[in-house]
Structure 1
Amino acid sequence: MPYVNVKITRDGVTAEQKAQIVAEITATLQRVLGKRPEHTHIVIDEIDPENWGFAGMLTTEYRRQAANNSPTTSDCGSDPQNPLS
């Protein structure tokens, strides 16, 4: 019985996105490990950004600093070093 716990920050993730996460993780476990989908459990925990720390600060402050240091909004992509972006 596989159990996967996914932790993400709570900020705009839709039910459709969560459903896709569950479906794709389940499919991966089935394909790679031969696990039966009806025995696979996926739990998504949403954490408020002010309750998650990254790089020595709260995620809210990290994101605020990253936004202030970005020259244009078009350059505001996901930060490969920050899984929360």
Structure 2
Amino acid sequence: MPYVNIKVTDEGVTPAEKKALIEGTTKLLQDVLNKDPKTTFVVIDEVPTDNWGIGFETVSEIRQKQE
């Protein structure tokens, strides 16, 4: 029973994109590991950019510098 946790920043991932992630991840586990899609769990967590750090900065700070 595979469990996959995908974490992304909360920057507008659409329902269609989430569905594609779930379908693609499930298909990959089926193809590579022969796992049953009926027992494969995929969870997507959207993390606020203030709570995601790279190096010494939050993603929010990095995004502000890119503007």
TM-score range, shorter chain: over 0.9
Shift of 1:55: 1.9
Which protein shows a greater Rg? 1
Report which of the two has the higher share of strand.
Answer: 2
CA RMSD of aligned residues (A): 0.8
Instruction: Measure, in 1, the Cα distance between the counterparts of 2:63 and 2:33.
Output: 37
Question: Which residue does the alignment assign to 2:56?
Answer: 56
The structure, 1 or 2, with the larger RCO (C-alpha pairs under 8 Å, 6+ apart) is: 2
CA contact 1:55–1:62 (8 Å) conserved in 2: no
Question: Which residue does the alignment assign to 1:25?
Answer: 25
Shift of 1:63: 1.7
1:17 partner letter:
E
For structure 2, the 5+ residue unaligned runs are: none
Which deviates further from its counterpart, 54-63 or 32-41?
A: 54-63
Shift of 1:62: 1.1
After the TM superposition, list the runs of 4 or more consecutive aligned residues in structure 1 that deviate by more than 6 angstroms. Answer: none
% of aligned pairs identical?
A: 42
For structure 1, the 5+ residue unaligned runs are: 69-85
Q: Deviations over 1:13-38 (max 9, x none)?
A: 00000000000000000000000000
